[in-house]
Structure formats: C-alpha cells, structure tokens
Amino acid sequence: MKFDELDLSYDILDALDAMRFDECTPIQEQAIPVILEGRDLIAVAQTGTGKTAAYLLPVIDRLADMPEAKDYVNCIVMSPTRELAQQIDRQMEGFAYYVPVNSVAIYGGTDGAGFAQQQRGLKMGADVVIATPGRLLAHLQMGYVDLSRVSYFILDEADRMLDMGFYDDIMQIVKHLPKDRQTLMFSATMPPKIQQLAKAILNDPAEVKIAVSRPTEKIDQSAFVCHEGQKTGILKHLFRTAHSQRVIIFSSSKIKVKELARELRRCKVKTGEMHSDLDQNVREEVLLDFRAGKIDVLVATDIVARGIDIDDIAMVVNYDVPREAEDYVHRIGRTARANADGKAVTLVSAKEQSKFGQIESFLGYEVRKETVPAELGEAPEYNPSRRQSSRGDRRNRKPSRSGGKGRTGKSSSRNNNSNSENSSNGNKRHSRKNHHNHSRKKTSGGANGSDNSKNNSTPPQS
C-alpha cells in the first residue's frame, strides 16, 4: 500500500514525499488506519519495521487539527533510552515539517542547562513530549507539568522499558493522565509483563502482530563454539582475518563491556564503549565518533541493539549469546542495512550452548560453526541439548570430535528480508509555519494492497 492511499493530510504526504517515503511497511499499513479511527492499539513488531512512523504519522495528522498546546501537553511518547528518544525527535521533525505541531525531547544525562531547557519546554506546553520514564517522572514530581489534557499516550519498545525496570515509573505517569486518552503500545515481544501492562492501561485495544522476520540473507552468520577464556583471542583473530573497522561487539553486561574495551585499547584498537553508566554527552560523542570513523570498534550492551540507526556496519560480534532469539535478530540486524552485505559472528561458550540452540530453533536452521584457531587450544563439543553444569566451561571438558577445534555445521540461506526503520535526519523545526494554501484533507479514502519494501529517507530541505 502507498501512503497516499491512507487518510492522511496533504501536508503529511508532502513531507513523506520530500523524504522519499512512498510504500508503507506492513506495520504501518495495519496500524495507521486503526490509530486514525481513535482506537487503543497494541502492536507487536520487531525493530526496523517502521514502528515509529506507524504511530507518529497518524498522531501528527490529528494533532494538527487541535488547538495549540499552551501550558499543557497533547501527546506523550515514552522511550526506554535517551538515544531512541533523540531519534524519535529527529523523525518527528521530518514528519511534522509542514504542519503546525511541535515537540520536545525529555531525557536524563544532561547538565543543569539541559534540564532547565527541558523545564521551560514543559512549562510552555508542547504538542508532543518524547521522554524517558525516569526523567519525565522527575519533572512531574516538581509540579509544573500539566498532563490533564493529554490525548495520546504512546509506549515505544515497551518490552525493553519493562526489562529496564520502568514498570512502576510508567504506572506513576499514567496516574497523571486523563482516562479518555488514546493509548498505543508498540513492542517487539509479548511477554507476560507486557500483557499485564496492556490490561492495566489500554481500553479494548485492537491488536496488530507482525511476525518476527528472520535475518536477511545478506548477513553471513557464523559461530565459534569455545571456552569463555578463548573469546578475546577469537575476537583478535576476527580482526586479523575478517574486519577490524565498522564493527559492533555486543556483550551482556556493563562490566564486560568496560573490561573488553580496555583490553582492545591495550591492543591499539580504536575502541569506544556504550552502556548506561556513561553520561549522555559522552554517549552522544561516542556515537558521533563511530559514525565519523574516528572509532573502529564499538563495544556495547543491548542499548545499541534497538532503534539506533548506524549504517555501513561491516561486522557484528555477539561476544555473549543474547538471552532471547528476538534479541539475536535485533543485534545482527545492525549490519547488512540499506541492501549492503554484512557479517555476524557469535561466540558460544559451553554454558551458552543451550541458549544458542534455542536461537537456531527459532531461525529454523543451524548457524555455520567455525573452527577455533589451533593456537587457542581445544574447544568444547557443540551439544546444545545437553544440560551444562556450573563447571561446564572448564578447559578439562571432553574435547570435540573434530580435534578439539569445534565442528562445522551446514548453513542455510532461508531467511526473509527484514524491513528497515523509516528514519529522517534532524532539521530545524518549523513549528506552525510553511502552511500550504490548498486544503489539508484528501477527499478519497484508503485502498487495499500490501508492500514490504523499505523506505530510504532524505529529510526535506529548508
């Protein structure tokens, strides 16, 4: 389906045309009409499918017809991380370029001047507030934020917010909202906690579920079955034989990220690190340096796995096996973007074999196993169905049948193409300016059709 088949205003369509958005992704095609009808919605779709546009476009369209927000807030978009909040704000600027709708981003990690700027924005009122839960709650507790007239309450990456412990913060914020609002929840997964939250804050919601896409065929997936102590050696081997630039390494904890980054710096690798212990300005600087090529390798927690647009990544390394199959898809989806090729390597210790076996079951095929370099010693046999003991990663475990260097399995290219998240670069916001003289609303309704193609965005030029 094309965007001009939806009941969106001409001003919205003009912005989409300037950004070279033409075809809807499946989540956009199914969610936008429901939101325009005014129904609550729970939508399940993985990162990279266009969820942000799916909720921003219809909400911006409706807000443009409402009175300007003065001293209050019309819409709240909740985000789990500062980086995603900033990205949503940039997309908001592009989509609302031709309509009288403004926004303000509220997140932690800023200095006193940044906090004061956020404070002024909230006191003056905003059509859309894009916020992390903790920082918005901090402003609320100071007594100058009016949420009594909020018409739209949106939770993006809701499962990630609950994983990060924001359930109580979200419920505290909900207490300040009117009951007659429209609530939209977008999540990559649907665990019991999300179902519980949905029952608590949504009213007779419509449901849209887009199946999790398998990794694109352009990602060359492989794994090393190894001991935990061999992982850093394998990483250095990959830098010598595969890629040493434009690499993201995912680790399961902040402590491991810090330790691994220090080790790589000692090896003269230009390395940056990303985790929640860093101040916001430091995190922004690291991302800018990585995008600019000043940093070759970025070591990160899953804070970078979702919703952060970084193109031309040559290789993704899972230093630790992710907890869930969906997280594996999100992580390796950082590479092979914009129709490019990419490489994804997972380092699987003995105690992680069961988790990796579950990921392979989800994928529907066995990921190719690489041979551990001989100089690193013997490697464990790959047997994901065997329950690993707490000592299962010791070097004295039974060596593999292939001479202790891991065994090679068959790979498969039975992957479905994944959709990339519609994104736009930041522009100067032209709030309540640049109106067109023609009528805003189309006279025709939607039409049937479906298209899974990706939208490559270029922001409108001022």
89 against 109, higher pLDDT: 89
- The band of 419, judged by pLDDT with boundaries at 50, 70 and 90, is very low
Specify whether 354 is located in the same domain as 319: yes
Specify whether 124 is located in the same domain as 249: no
% of the chain at pLDDT higher than 90: 61
- pLDDT value, residue 308: 65
Domain annotation covers residue 453: no
- pLDDT value, residue 412: 38
Specify whether 188 is located in the same domain as 260: no
Tell me how many domains the chain contains.
2
- The band of 108, judged by pLDDT with boundaries at 50, 70 and 90, is confident
* Domain termination residue (choose one: 376, 392, 408): 376
Among 24-33, 37-46, 296-305, 313-322, the least confident range: 296-305
- Angle made by CA atoms 187, 190, 196, in degrees to the nearest 5: 100
Among 120-129, 241-250, 378-387, 452-461, the least confident range: 452-461
Is the pLDDT at 287 greater than 60? The verdict is: yes
- pLDDT value, residue 411: 38
- pLDDT value, residue 387: 59
Domain annotation covers residue 424: no
pTM of this prediction exceeds 0.85:
no
Beta-carbon neighbour count of residue 449 at 10 Å? 11
Domain annotation covers residue 296: yes
- pLDDT value, residue 307: 57
- pLDDT value, residue 79: 95
Specify whether 190 is located in the same domain as 263: no
- The band of 424, judged by pLDDT with boundaries at 50, 70 and 90, is very low
What's the domain range around 351? 219-376
Mean pLDDT confidence for 64-71: 86
Specify whether 225 is located in the same domain as 286: yes
Helix locations, 164-226, DSSP H: 167-174, 192-201
CATH number at residue 305: 3.40.50.300
Specify whether 53 is located in the same domain as 90: yes
Specify whether 225 is located in the same domain as 194: no
* Domain termination residue (choose one: 334, 354, 376): 376
Specify whether 195 is located in the same domain as 232: no
Q: How far is CA 48 from the centre of its chain?
A: 7
Specify whether 140 is located in the same domain as 231: no
Among 237-251, 336-350, 378-392, the least confident range: 378-392
Domain annotation covers residue 52: yes
Specify whether 304 is located in the same domain as 201: no
Domain annotation covers residue 414: no
Give the burial string for 316-328 (b: 16+ CB within 10 Å, else e): bbbbbbbebbbbb
% of the chain at pLDDT higher than 70: 82
pLDDT one-digit tens code per residue, 331-383? 998 898 767 899 999 999 999 999 999 999 999 999 999 999 999 999 999 99
Domain annotation covers residue 43: yes
Domain annotation covers residue 66: yes
Closest CA to 93 of 426, 423, 421, 422: 426
* Domain termination residue (choose one: 181, 209, 237): 209
180 against 279, higher pLDDT: 180
Among 35-44, 118-127, 296-305, 339-348, the least confident range: 296-305
Domain annotation covers residue 35: yes
Is the pLDDT at 435 greater than 80? The verdict is: no
DSSP symbols for 10-72:
HHHHHHHHHTT--BPPHHHHHHHHHHHTT--EEEE--TTSSHHHHHHHHHHHHHTTSPPPSSS
Specify whether 157 is located in the same domain as 283: no
Specify whether 232 is located in the same domain as 200: no
Is the pLDDT at 30 greater than 50? The verdict is: yes
Find out whether 301 and 275 touch, Cβ atoms under 8 Å: yes
